[in-house]
Each structure stands twice: as C-alpha cells, then as structure tokens.
Structure 1
C-alpha cells in the first residue's frame, strides 16, 4: 500500500495555468472564437445579448436560439474561481447544444470580493429562473470549474430555485467542478473570496443532499491536477449514495481549459450525454 503525501502547497494543486503547457494563453484563446460566434448568430437574428435577470450591472445573460424548433434549454455557467471572467468568453460553446435543438443561455454574475459565493449562488438561481421563463421544455445545466460548483448547487435540497424550475432540470453537467469548498480556505484565494469555514461548508454540494431525481455527470480531464480529479469523483461518489443518478468521467488528454472545447462539438460524448434528456 502506498500512502499519499499530505498536501503542503494548496495554491499549487488548485493552480491551472502553471500546470498546463502554455497555460497563460488561456483564457485569451477563447476570445476570438466566442466573438466570431456572437457576430455570426446575431446576424442570423438568433441572439438576445445582454438580457437582464437582476438589478446588478453583471446580472446579464446572452441567449442563443437554434435554427429549428426549440426543444429545451441549456444554461452554461462560467468559472474563474468566482472572481474572474464574464459571459463573453464562452459564446461559441453554445454550438453543440444548439445543434440538438436546445436554446442556450450564458449568464455572468457579480464577482468576489464584491460578492460572496453564497450570493453568487442566489444570482445564478435568478438567472436560471429568468431563462426558464423565456424558454419552454427540459432544462439542462452545465458549468465549468467554479461554474461546476454553481450548477451542482442548483440541485441541492436548499437550492435557490423555486420548485417549478427545479422540477424542469433533467440533467446537470459539472465540468472540472469544485464541490467541496473547504480546501479553498487553505489557498490565498480565500481572502478575495471572503470565504470562512461556515460558508465553505454551507456552499459545498458534496456536504449537501441532492433533490430527489437528480441526474448529474461529473466530467474532468485526465491531465488535470490531483485535486480537480478528486473533487470530480467526490461528488459523483457521495451523491450516488444519496440517491442521485451519477456518472464520473475522466477524459483522456484533456486539461482544465481544453476540456470545455467539447461543448462546441455536437457529436462529442459530453454534448450527447448532456442533451440525452431529449432522446
């Protein structure tokens, strides 16, 4: 038996750019594909940009419509450790779900330190409710990194979503998600997050109970750090024991950034898994 060594550098195991070749080229690599996608779909009249879902300046989302009849709604929640990025980086990732007849909403939210994580949870709940009011049919949620945490929170028993919206969620996809926030207390990010032990526990999906009927896929790149792979398996394992239908996938040759490229490909297994509610 090999005993794993205790983690001594928590910032290192939650660093992404430093652990990826040319890692500092992200998020810049997403800017142009996202811009080109928005320009193209706006020209076709199938984009609703900057839709308000709340009173804050960042309570906005972009909504994209498929060419054919709308069959459902996919909502993608971005990452950035709850403290960075906005909706403009991810527009092209709507392509996969759009091809299957899903409308796609991509919200942004008020970042830390202006916000706390618990408040961001509430904002994402409001964004989902606003999008669900616009689009009929089944709802699927996808989120990356901190966004994986946020979409998982939506199907906890203490979800901010009203029952009418929770009942429409057919599938959740947490991509490289952070499901136990307590390790964040050991990182330098905790100051910007204004995170304390009480909030870390209260906002950790792995410490909460999923709503009945939850179906969640936890998806991570096999080239990610040990902590992201552990966090991925953790939620799938715990929630399966609490009655949820779970899947745990480690995709070969993918790291923390290029793992989400799959969402732009209608035939990628990640997209097919996400939209399987329509089959």
Structure 2
C-alpha cells in the first residue's frame, strides 16, 4: 500500500537480519547473569493471557525507583525476551527495571494493548516503591506515550511518573491506515485517532522524545510531531538508525539513561 515502504525499517538497514539473533543472545546472557545472583524475577503475570507477563531486574541494594521498558515490533511481533540487556544502564544507576510482554495484533487491538501496558505498569508500581520512569521503542514508544495521558494509569500510580522517554515512537497512527499492516491492526480513522498521542494532551511529566538521525523520514516525522504537539524534549541521535538507537539504554553514562533517571 501507499506507505508500506515509508514505514519499512529492515529493508533500509544494512545487515538488519542479524539484529534479532544478537538481541536474543545478549538478552539471554543478561538474564542468566542476573538470575545467578538472585536479581531477576522472570515471567511475573500481570494479566490473564500467557503473553501478559513481565521480567523484573533488581539493582544492588534498595532501588531508587523502577524503569519500565516496553518493546516495539509494530504491535505485531517480538516479546520481552529480546531486550533484557537494555536494563543494564538504569540498573547500574540503582533503578529496578521491568520489561513486559503483551498480546499482539490481530489477537488484540492496539487499544487493548494500551490497557495491558497500563496494567503492567500498575503491577510493577505495586512491587517497587518510589518513582516510575517509562521508556519504549517504536510501538513501545507509542505505548509509553499513552501512559502520559490523563486517565490511562490509575490515580495511585500516575503521580509517581518521574519521566517518559518514547524512542522512535509511533505517535500518529493515522498513517497506518495506508499500510498493509492495517489488515492486522483493524484500525479505522476513529480508532487511529483515539490511539494517537499527538492528538492528546499529556500530564505534567517530563517527556523526552528520542529518535535516530539515520531513521526513515517517517520516523523522524513521527518523533517531531510528538515533540511539537507536547512541547517536550526532542533528541535526534547522530549515527543511529531504528535498530540501534535503543542501545544507549544499556549504558549507564548515556544521555538517554540520564533523561530517564536523573
């Protein structure tokens, strides 16, 4: 369809096919290491379906708070097992890190996934005291941005939000109507507008939109649209594309981690 290529990432990243296997290997090694020292609680259920589970990684000592990372994949693919190693940055800064999986389209609507992530954040907040920081990549960027909208998180959790960093977010879902993926999303204009953060007003919480300078123009636009609509921070990371822009989360000294926990 008209916008299929505009939103195709792998086709425009050299060696794209090698990224998922590397993510899987790095994530598995990270979970093993943290499990060995008793700092990983895996597959904690937060809902009724098998996909509604999360992994929780703990720092040494009492956590300063908890970061929640929500994965991407166009609401269609992946789960939390690909990304565990990205917890390393906030962990080294003394923060717990939770990574939820969620049901995927077409088994659930995008609006349904938003509700699942709100429930996951609520369960995490019940388990770890202190402030809550949210980051998410691509479709996950959309999902954490939705958490900033009044009424999505329960009133006992929303005031604890410390920061939100949507990374390469899908902020306006209306272009998805012009992609073949919409056969699985099942969006019409009303549903797309109802799930588009650019059309909403956020709570008073610090938001920094992050995107790689070498991403597809459509993703540069999506990030800019959200930053302009919300009047929030906007970082364009030089030399980064859609698959490696998230790597900064693994580094405790990165500006991305600082935006989350400082």
How far apart, CA to CA, are the structure 2 residues paired with 1:27 and 1:14? 18
Distance 2:260 2:64 in 1: 14
Q: 2:172 aligns with which of 176, 180, 192?
A: 180
Q: Aligned residue for 2:163?
A: 171
Q: Tell me if structure 2 keeps the 8 A contact 1:17–1:26.
A: no
CA drift of 1:69 comes to: 1.9
Deviation, 1:270, is 0.7
Number of equivalent positions: 262
Query: 1:206 maps to which residue?
Result: 198
Q: Give CA-to-partner distance per residue, 1:128-168, whole Å, 9 cap, x none.
A: 00000000011000000000000000011242x11111110
Q: Tell me the secondary structure at the aligned position of residue 11 of structure 1.
A: coil
Aligned to 2:213: 222
The residue that corresponds to 1:195 in the other structure is 187
Is the 8 Å Cα contact of residues 75 and 128 (structure 1) preserved in structure 2? yes
Name the TM-score, length of structure 1 as normaliser.
Answer: 0.92
Gaps of 5+ in 1: 1-7, 241-245
**Aligned residue runs from structure 1 range 1-279, under 5 A:** 9-159=2-152, 161-211=153-203, 213-240=204-231, 246-276=232-262
Match of residue 5 from structure 1 = none
> Following the alignment from structure 2 to structure 1, what is the Cα–Cα distance between the partners of residues 172 and 202?
14
Kept after mapping to 2: 8 A contact 1:76/1:107: yes
Distance in structure 1 (CA, Å) of the matches to 2:230 and 2:257: 22
Asked if the contact 1:100–1:266 (Cα under 8 Å) also holds between the matched residues in 2, the reply is: yes
Q: Deviation per CA, 1:161-217: give whole Å up to 9, x if none.
A: 111111100100000000000000000000011111111000000011112x12110
Task: Tell me how far apart the structure 2 counterparts of residues 217 and 27 of structure 1 sit (CA, whole Å).
Answer: 26
Matches of 1:153 and 1:26, distance apart in 2? 27
Q: Contact between 1:77 and 1:147, CA under 8 Å: does it hold in 2?
A: yes
Structure 1 moving runs of 4+ over 4 Å:
none
Q: Distance in 2 between matches of 1:30 and 1:86?
A: 11
Distance 2:45 2:233 in 1: 34
Question: What is the distance in 2 between the residues matched to 1:40 and 1:98?
Answer: 13
Q: CA RMSD in A?
A: 0.9
Q: CA deviation at 1:62?
A: 0.2
Q: Which runs of 5+ in 2 are unaligned?
A: none
